[in-house]
A and B are shown apart, each in its own frame.
Chain A
Amino acid sequence: MGITAGIRTRWGKRVKGGVHPPESKHLTADKPIVRMEAPELVTIPLRQHVGAPCSPRVKRGDRVLVGTLIGDSEAFVSAPVHSSVSGTVRGIAPHPHPAGGESPAVTIENDGLYERDPSLRPLEWRDMEPDEIRRAVRAAGMVGLGGAAFPTHVKLAPPKEFPIDTVILNGAECEPFLTADYRLMLEHPEDVVEGLRIIMSAVGAHRAIIAVEDNKPLAVKKLAEVVRDPSIELRTLKTRYPQGAEKVLITNLLGREVPSGGLPMHVGVVVNNVGTARAIAQYFRTGLPLVERVVTVTGSVIREPSNLLVPLGSSFAAAVEACGGFSASPAKVIMGGPMMGLAQYTLEVPVVKGTSGILALSDREAAYEVPREPVCIRCGRCVEACPMNLIPTYLAAFSHREKWDQVRRLNINDCIECGCCTYTCPTRNPIVQLIKVGKAELARLKTLQEQRAREREEAMEQGGRDGDL
Chain B
Amino acid sequence: METSRFIVSTSPHIRDPITTRKIMCQVIAALAPVTLYSVVIHGIHALYVIASSIAGAMLGELGVQKARRLPVTIDDCSALLTGLLLALTLPPRVPWWIALVAGMVATVLGKQVFGGLGHNLFNPALVGRAVAFVSWAAYMTAGYVKSASIGIAGTAAHRAIEKAVDVAGGATPLAAMKIVYDPSLSPVGPSGVPRGIQASSYYKPLLLANPWGCLGEVSALLLILGGVYLVATRVIDWRIPVIYLGTVAVLTALTGRDPLFYTLAGGLLLGAFFMATDYTTSPLAPRGKVVYALGLGLVTWLLRFWSNNPEGVMFAILFMNGLVPIIDRYIMPRTSGTAPRAKAAGGPCCATSSTWACAPSWSARWRRRGWA
- Name A residues whose Cβ lies closer than 8 Å to a Cβ of B: 19, 21-22, 96, 176, 247, 251, 257-262, 330-334, 336, 338-348, 359, 361, 365-366, 368, 372, 375-381, 383-384, 387-391, 393-394, 397-398, 401, 403, 405-406, 409-411, 414, 417, 419, 422-428, 432-433, 436
Q: Are A377 and B335 in contact (CB under 8 A)?
A: no
| Chain B residue with Cβ nearest A428 | B15
Question: Which residues on the B side are within 8 Å of A381 (C-beta)?
Answer: 18
Q: Are A424 and B18 in contact (CB under 8 A)?
A: yes
Question: Which residues on the B side are within 8 Å of A258 (C-beta)?
Answer: 336-337
| Chain B residue with Cβ nearest A15 | B336
| Contact sample, A vs B, 16 pairs, CB 8 Å cutoff | A19-B16, A96-B1, A176-B14, A258-B336, A332-B8, A333-B6, A339-B13, A344-B6, A359-B13, A361-B13, A383-B333, A388-B335, A391-B284, A397-B358, A409-B346, A426-B16
* A387 vs B333: C-alpha distance when bound (angstroms): 11
* A334 vs B8: C-alpha distance when bound (angstroms): 9
- Name B residues whose Cβ lies closer than 8 Å to a Cβ of A: 1, 3-4, 6-16, 18-20, 22-23, 71, 116-118, 237, 279-280, 282, 284-286, 332-338, 345-347, 351-354, 357-358, 360-361
Distance to closest chain B CB from A345 (angstroms): 5
* A372 vs B71: C-alpha distance when bound (angstroms): 10
Question: Which residues on the B side are within 8 Å of A22 (C-beta)?
Answer: 14
B13's partner among A251, A343, A424 (CB-CB below 8 A) is: A343
Question: Which residues on the A side are within 8 Å of B118 (C-beta)?
Answer: 375-378, 427
Q: Are A343 and B15 in contact (CB under 8 A)?
A: no
Q: Are A331 and B14 in contact (CB under 8 A)?
A: no
Q: Are A21 and B16 in contact (CB under 8 A)?
A: yes
Question: Which residues on the A side are within 8 Å of B20 (C-beta)?
Answer: 377, 426-427
Known contacts A409-B345, A426-B23; A388/B336 CB under 8 A = yes
Distance to closest chain A CB from B338 (angstroms): 5
Known contacts A343-B8, A422-B15; A414/B347 CB under 8 A = no
Q: Which 8 A-B pairs have the closest CB atoms?
A: A419-B12, A409-B346, A397-B357, A411-B335, A260-B337, A389-B333, A379-B279, A338-B13
Distance to closest chain B CB from A83 (angstroms): 23
| Chain A residue with Cβ nearest B361 | A401
Q: Are B351 and A345 in contact (CB under 8 A)?
A: no
Q: Is the interface of A mostly helix, strand, loop or mixed?
A: loop
Distance to closest chain A CB from B277 (angstroms): 10
Q: Are B3 and A368 in contact (CB under 8 A)?
A: no
* A390 vs B332: C-alpha distance when bound (angstroms): 9
Q: Are A405 and B337 in contact (CB under 8 A)?
A: no
Question: Which residues on the B side are within 8 Å of A422 (C-beta)?
Answer: 12, 15
Q: Are A341 and B11 in contact (CB under 8 A)?
A: yes
| Chain A residue with Cβ nearest B9 | A343
Question: Which residues on the A side are within 8 Å of B117 (C-beta)?
Answer: 375, 377
Q: Are A331 and B7 in contact (CB under 8 A)?
A: yes
Question: Which residues on the A side are within 8 Å of B16 (C-beta)?
Answer: 19, 21, 423-426
* A376 vs B71: C-alpha distance when bound (angstroms): 16
Distance to closest chain B CB from A19 (angstroms): 7
* A384 vs B345: C-alpha distance when bound (angstroms): 23
Distance to closest chain A CB from B283 (angstroms): 8
Distance to closest chain B CB from A360 (angstroms): 9
Q: Are B7 and A432 in contact (CB under 8 A)?
A: no
Question: Which residues on the A side are within 8 Å of B345 (C-beta)?
Answer: 409
Q: Are B11 and A419 in contact (CB under 8 A)?
A: yes
* A361 vs B361: C-alpha distance when bound (angstroms): 36
| Chain A residue with Cβ nearest B14 | A338
Distance to closest chain B CB from A174 (angstroms): 13
Q: Are B357 and A401 in contact (CB under 8 A)?
A: yes
B284's partner among A96, A330, A378 (CB-CB below 8 A) is: A378
Q: Are A411 and B354 in contact (CB under 8 A)?
A: no
* A368 vs B12: C-alpha distance when bound (angstroms): 11
Distance to closest chain B CB from A208 (angstroms): 23
Best-buried of A345, A379, A419, A428 by chain B (most CB within 10 Å): A379
Question: Which residues on the B side are within 8 Å of A347 (C-beta)?
Answer: 4
* A405 vs B347: C-alpha distance when bound (angstroms): 8
* A21 vs B12: C-alpha distance when bound (angstroms): 11
Question: Which residues on the B side are within 8 Å of A346 (C-beta)?
Answer: 1, 3-4, 6
Question: Which residues on the B side are within 8 Å of A359 (C-beta)?
Answer: 13
Q: Are A426 and B22 in contact (CB under 8 A)?
A: yes
Distance to closest chain A CB from B288 (angstroms): 9
Q: Are A368 and B337 in contact (CB under 8 A)?
A: no
| Chain B residue with Cβ nearest A406 | B351
B19's partner among A262, A348, A365, A426 (CB-CB below 8 A) is: A426
Best-buried of B6, B12, B117 by chain A (most CB within 10 Å): B12
Question: Which residues on the B side are within 8 Å of A417 (C-beta)?
Answer: 11
Question: Which residues on the B side are within 8 Å of A426 (C-beta)?
Answer: 16, 18-20, 22-23
A423's partner among B12, B333, B352, B357 (CB-CB below 8 A) is: B12
* A350 vs B352: C-alpha distance when bound (angstroms): 45
* A380 vs B283: C-alpha distance when bound (angstroms): 8
* A432 vs B345: C-alpha distance when bound (angstroms): 24
Best-buried of A331, A341, A377, A433 by chain B (most CB within 10 Å): A377
Question: Which residues on the A side are within 8 Å of B116 (C-beta)?
Answer: 375
Q: Are B12 and A432 in contact (CB under 8 A)?
A: yes
* A377 vs B119: C-alpha distance when bound (angstroms): 8
Best-buried of A22, A258, A381 by chain B (most CB within 10 Å): A381
* A372 vs B352: C-alpha distance when bound (angstroms): 22
Q: Are A342 and B1 in contact (CB under 8 A)?
A: no
Q: Are A394 and B357 in contact (CB under 8 A)?
A: yes
| Chain B residue with Cβ nearest A241 | B12
Question: Which residues on the B side are within 8 Å of A176 (C-beta)?
Answer: 14
Question: Which residues on the B side are within 8 Å of A383 (C-beta)?
Answer: 284-286, 333
A260's partner among B7, B9, B18, B338 (CB-CB below 8 A) is: B338
Best-buried of B8, B10, B118, B333 by chain A (most CB within 10 Å): B10
Q: Are A403 and B360 in contact (CB under 8 A)?
A: yes
* A424 vs B338: C-alpha distance when bound (angstroms): 25
Question: Which residues on the A side are within 8 Å of B282 (C-beta)?
Answer: 378
Q: Are A398 and B337 in contact (CB under 8 A)?
A: no
Q: Are A260 and B335 in contact (CB under 8 A)?
A: yes
Question: Which residues on the A side are within 8 Å of B353 (C-beta)?
Answer: 378
Q: Are B337 and A259 in contact (CB under 8 A)?
A: yes
Given contacts A409-B346, A425-B16, 9 further A-B contacts (CB under 8 A): A259-B338, A339-B11, A345-B6, A389-B334, A393-B284, A422-B15, A423-B12, A426-B18, A426-B19
Distance to closest chain A CB from B231 (angstroms): 14
Distance to closest chain A CB from B69 (angstroms): 13
A368's partner among B15, B280, B285 (CB-CB below 8 A) is: B15
Q: Are A342 and B11 in contact (CB under 8 A)?
A: yes
Q: Are B336 and A389 in contact (CB under 8 A)?
A: yes
Question: Which residues on the A side are within 8 Å of B352 (C-beta)?
Answer: 394
| Chain B residue with Cβ nearest A420 | B12
Q: Are B285 and A21 in contact (CB under 8 A)?
A: no
Q: Are B337 and A423 in contact (CB under 8 A)?
A: no
* A433 vs B285: C-alpha distance when bound (angstroms): 22
* A90 vs B352: C-alpha distance when bound (angstroms): 59
B237's partner among A251, A339, A348, A380 (CB-CB below 8 A) is: A380
Known contacts A258-B337, A383-B284; A391/B332 CB under 8 A = yes
Best-buried of B4, B336, B358 by chain A (most CB within 10 Å): B336
